[in-house]
């Protein structure tokens, strides 16, 4: 099957937005063995969009078009595709009603142009979009499959995962497809990319099928294992083998697979060990708490936390000793430890993690440079504290500090559980 | 001048690498008034690469091709372009010598295939690459300009800036160059995309230069104004005019320009009014605090906050009345108001914002569905509370709630400042 991805939007064409959608769609298609042969980007221009759709349907078996499904006059994808395929558009009354109700519920006036989003090419299937007003569309016409997706990444992603991929897999099951491509991601933390590559040298040197591709992320490394096989079971077997070899080298540094996040891995350990958690954040400003609470069900182990940004708040909310702050500065191991201890007793949680540091760009000195961070952990056995020096801009330093705090906590739970 | 960007590489096509090169090239071209009409991505496949080059030179005046200039058999761009243009390749002896010397200096064996990198289409100019072994190529043929660039981003970037842009500017100076393109983004909150389009209807309907493109983001809308003019000053004047018209229609809904975030806009108001802030978050779990502290210098007005995830923590840290929680539930206007009041008195801040809601996926009921959220604000004049129903997944609901809290605070500060 030859696929083409067409992304539509002047902001992409002009380079104001980086085209992550095309990359994500291509990756998902590769998972089911569908190869992308072309990617095209056009702006919100009717003639060029039409030409691009024309070209795509003439050379591809699968066209995935993303963007241009919204309510405004700029949004032309639905109409253009219908026109090229010479298919009339019909209104989906269910979706039209849903739009009207949505606007009513939000107390907003309903512009008629919104109803364009309920139009579906004849023979097409409306894919319900849980995150937005423009649904996706799935259309099969002889050997050609056309998929239309809204442009906001989270809307595109959800529709691809929940609606498009299952349909494609079903369609592919019946056809002559050469091989299945299956990928698995191993997620590694606490080991840099170059160190991971060193440790995996013998495995990486001899790889052919599956292939193993290391990918550096912010303060973690992802290893993508991709196997090609006549069927899924064989591909899974090859992946399991490679995965085992990697785990033998990296041990606990592999914290999860595929979409598992570090905060999910930590959450699982907390649940297993029936421990509750609180946090006290200074330089990360709430990011650690935000990440912890991105996990559905986190209220089962996370009681809440304190963002103690000012010194006064560290003293008031966490009972940190003002003399210690005065003497050693807010960014010090004593204050980090004091914050953890204070957070634990204020919240009654089993474990407390505290972070204090200098996120920059201001506030650094020769002795205490931007990026200097202390992370402390308190539980019934006492407190530990570690010193870090992170680099990067303000948001990177916040991100690295939150990541390191999760990793410190994960290590603590792994050791505790032994 | 119509430009097309062709990026070459299987890793781009498969989505393993996000195509930041195309975005960067498009942005740089826009700076000198060159509009990109198409972007195409193909893999390292000779037939499809040839077809893509063929198509591009038939419809564009400027083709910028990036990637596929290296020494391996996969690297086909140079040969394919020469073939399509029916131009023989000649060896640049200077670059060939440089390659040989480079390998000697690094003590590496010199593979003959490296010499492919010294081949230049007849009539073309070799652009010296200070960062790599593959040089760029600049070729003019009648009305057509072809630029070939290596794929590593820092190599592409340096060659574009140092070698390509000056040549393009020079070439453009002599020709009928339409204009300089200048863009400005207006950021709008509290008004949905379709409502914004309705309000701006007369302006949008008559737009030609500058163009105004609305872009829906999560709980905000960006309006990109792009003006084309003979020089920068005239473009700026056109943009200022359009910007004024838009602001006249949307008023305070325009919260900022270009890269300004909502949290920065709020921060500016807090600084101007010399107000300090605290927050109490339940369902947003720290996200609001995280966003506030992404702003450098936020410690000047943000004292910190509390993530009161469990009911016990709402009672302990914010002195919310346990009977009220029992009677009305944690997601209620009374609890939101109580949280704001408690946060304000616990922290001593001038203003407190509190959020309580159901982020899902669990925890909803018919009476209190997932997405139901109350946001309260307390200051010296008392408390206000608003009820919201957000939609989407857990992370979207968190994001929409944090955004709405910032907007509520911004409105409050705007009214207060009047």
Measured in angstroms, the CA of A187 and the nearest CA of chain B are apart by 16
Beta-carbon count within 10 A of A361 CB: 12
Measuring CA to CA, which residue among B216, B373, B369 is closest to residue B282? Answer: B373
Radius of gyration of chain B (CA): 29
Distance CA B294, CA B306 (A): 17
Nearest to B193 among A71, A224, A287 (CB): A71
- Among chain B residues, the shortest Cα distance to A347 is held by B313
Q: What is the mean pLDDT of residues A294-312?
A: 96
Strands B351-357 and A372-379: unpaired
Which structure tokens are listed for A322?
Answer: 């003002």
Cβ pair B218:A154 closer than 8 A = yes
Strand partners, A91: A119
Measured in angstroms, the CA of B249 and the nearest CA of chain A are apart by 16
- Among chain B residues, the shortest Cα distance to A308 is held by B304
Which structure tokens are listed for B49?
Answer: 């690469």
Distance CA B301, CA A216 (A): 36
Distance CA A133, CA A118 (A): 9
Picking from A66-70, A307-311, B389-393, which range would have the lowest pLDDT averaged per residue? B389-393
Question: Taking the C-alpha atoms of A9, A12, A18 and A22 in order, what is their torsion angle to the nearest 10 degrees?
Answer: 60
Return left, alpha or beta for B194; rule: phi > 0 is left, psi -120 to 50 is alpha, else beta. alpha
Which structure tokens are listed for B375?
Answer: 């946001």
Cβ pair A26:B48 closer than 8 A = no
Tell whether the model's pLDDT for residue A243 goes beyond 90.
Answer: yes
Cβ pair B48:A37 closer than 8 A = yes
Q: Over its length of 418 residues, how does chain B's per-residue pLDDT go in tens digits?
A: 899 999 998 889 988 888 999 999 998 898 777 889 999 999 888 999 999 999 999 999 999 999 999 887 778 999 999 999 999 999 999 999 999 998 888 777 888 888 999 999 999 999 999 888 999 999 999 889 999 999 988 899 999 988 898 788 776 655 544 556 777 889 999 998 888 888 998 888 887 788 887 877 888 998 988 887 888 899 899 999 999 999 999 999 999 998 899 999 999 999 999 999 999 999 999 999 999 999 999 999 999 999 999 999 999 999 999 999 999 999 999 999 999 999 999 999 999 999 999 999 999 999 999 999 999 999 999 999 999 999 888 999 999 999 999 999 999 999 987 7
Distance CA B240, CA A87 (A): 43
Report the complex ipTM: 0.74
Packed helices A262-272 and A394-417: angle between N→C axes, nearest 10 degrees: 30
* Domains, in order of start, for chain A: 2-173 (3.40.980.10), 180-257 (3.30.70.2860), 262-417 (3.90.950.20)
Give A397's contacts in chain B (Cβ within 8 Å). none
Distance CA B112, CA B149 (A): 21
Residue where the block lists tokens 């981003």: B153
Measured in angstroms, the CA of B197 and the nearest CA of chain A are apart by 7
- Best to test chain A binding among B298, B305, B390 (most A CBs inside 10 Å): B305
pTM of the full predicted structure?
0.74
Cβ pair B15:A24 closer than 8 A = yes
Distance CA B32, CA B178 (A): 10
Give B182's contacts in chain A (Cβ within 8 Å). none
Rounded percentage of chain A residues whose pLDDT exceeds 90: 72
Nearest to B299 among A224, A296, A309 (CB): A309
- Best to test chain B binding among A228, A286, A356 (most B CBs inside 10 Å): A286
Distance CA B203, CA B210 (A): 11
Give A288's contacts in chain B (Cβ within 8 Å). 286
SS3 A185: strand
Cβ pair B360:A296 closer than 8 A = yes
Cβ pair A304:B289 closer than 8 A = no
- Among chain A residues, the shortest Cα distance to B285 is held by A290
SS3 A182: strand
Measured in angstroms, the CA of A24 and the nearest CA of chain B are apart by 6
- Among chain B residues, the shortest Cα distance to A285 is held by B290
- Among chain B residues, the shortest Cα distance to A44 is held by B213
pLDDT band at A172 (very low <50, low <70, confident <90, very high): low
Give A115's contacts in chain B (Cβ within 8 Å). none
Nearest to B312 among A13, A45, A303 (CB): A303
Measuring CA to CA, which residue among B197, B19, B310 is closest to residue A7? Answer: B19
What local confidence, expressed as pLDDT, does residue B281 receive?
98
Nearest to A304 among B306, B347, B396 (CB): B306
Cβ pair A111:B215 closer than 8 A = no
Nearest to B347 among A35, A55, A316 (CB): A316
- The angle subtended at Cα A297 by Cα A295 and Cα A299, nearest 5°, is 100
Residue where the block lists tokens 């399509």: B84
Measuring CA to CA, which residue among A51, A61, A62 is closest to residue A84? Answer: A51
What local confidence, expressed as pLDDT, does residue A176 receive?
44
Which structure tokens are listed for A255?
Answer: 């914290």
CB A285 within 8 A of CB B292: yes
Which structure tokens are listed for B139?
Answer: 């070729």
Tell whether the model's pLDDT for residue A49 goes beyond 60.
Answer: yes
Distance CA A119, CA A90 (A): 5
pLDDT in tens, A401-414: 999 999 999 999 99
Rounded percentage of chain A residues whose pLDDT exceeds 70: 97
Give A20's contacts in chain B (Cβ within 8 Å). 18
Measured in angstroms, the CA of A96 and the nearest CA of chain B are apart by 15
Tell whether the model's pLDDT for residue A107 goes beyond 90.
Answer: no
Of the two residues A368 and A32, the one the predictor is more confident about is A368
Tell whether the model's pLDDT for residue A177 goes beyond 80.
Answer: no
Measured in angstroms, the CA of B297 and the nearest CA of chain A are apart by 8
Q: What is the mean pLDDT of residues A159-164?
A: 90
Strands (E), B24-135: 35-42, 62-66, 89-91, 119-121, 125-127
- Best to test chain A binding among B309, B320, B339, B349 (most A CBs inside 10 Å): B309
What local confidence, expressed as pLDDT, does residue A285 receive?
97
What local confidence, expressed as pLDDT, does residue A231 receive?
82
| HSE toward the beta carbon, residue B230, CA cutoff 13 A | 2
Cβ pair A285:B292 closer than 8 A = yes
């Amino acid at each position: 099957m030859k696929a083409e991805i067409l992304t539509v939007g002047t902001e992409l064409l002009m380079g104001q937005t980086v085209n992550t959608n095309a990359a994500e769609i291509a990756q998902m298609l590769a998972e089911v063995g569908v190869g992308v042969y072309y990617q095209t980007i056009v702006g919100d221009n009717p003639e060029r969009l039409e030409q691009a759709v024309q070209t795509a349907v003439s050379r591809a078996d699968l066209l995935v078009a993303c963007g241009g499904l919204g309510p405004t006059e700029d949004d032309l994808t639905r109409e253009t595709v219908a026109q090229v395929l010479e298919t009339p558009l019909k209104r989906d009354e269910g979706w039209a009603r849903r739009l009207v109700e949505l606007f009513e519920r939000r107390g907003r006036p309903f512009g008629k142009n919104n109803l364009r989003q309920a139009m579906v090419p004849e023979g097409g299937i409306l894919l319900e979009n849980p995150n937005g007003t423009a649904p996706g569309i799935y259309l099969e016409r002889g050997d050609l499959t056309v998929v239309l997706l809204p442009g906001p990444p989270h809307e595109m992603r959800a529709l691809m995962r929940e609606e498009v991929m299952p349909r494609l897999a079903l369609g592919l099951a019946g056809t002559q497809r050469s091989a299945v491509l299956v990928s698995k991601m191993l997620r590694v933390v606490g080991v840099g990319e170059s160190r991971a590559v060193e440790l995996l040298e013998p495995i990486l040197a001899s790889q052919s099928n599956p292939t193993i591709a290391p990918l550096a992320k912010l303060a973690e490394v992802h290893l993508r294992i991709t196997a090609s096989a006549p069927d899924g079971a064989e591909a899974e077997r090859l992946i399991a083998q490679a995965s085992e070899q990697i785990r033998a080298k990296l041990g606990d540094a592999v914290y999860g697979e595929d979409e598992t996040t570090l905060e999910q891995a930590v959450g699982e350990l907390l649940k297993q060990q029936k421990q509750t958690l609180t946090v006290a954040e200074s330089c990360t400003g709430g990011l650690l708490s935000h990440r912890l609470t991105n996990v559905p069900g986190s209220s089962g182990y996370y009681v809440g936390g304190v963002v103690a940004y000012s010194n006064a708040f560290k003293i008031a909310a966490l009972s940190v000793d003002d003399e210690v702050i005065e003497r050693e500065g807010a960014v010090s191991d004593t204050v980090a430890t004091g914050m953890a201890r204070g957070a634990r007793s204020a919240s009654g949680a089993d474990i407390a993690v505290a972070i204090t540091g200098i996120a920059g760009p201001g506030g650094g000195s020769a002795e205490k440079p931007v990026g200097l961070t202390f992370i402390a952990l308190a539980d019934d056995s006492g407190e530990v504290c570690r010193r870090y020096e992170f680099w990067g801009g303000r948001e990177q330093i916040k991100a690295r500090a939150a990541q390191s705090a999760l990793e410190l906590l994960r290590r603590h739970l792994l050791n505790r559980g032994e």
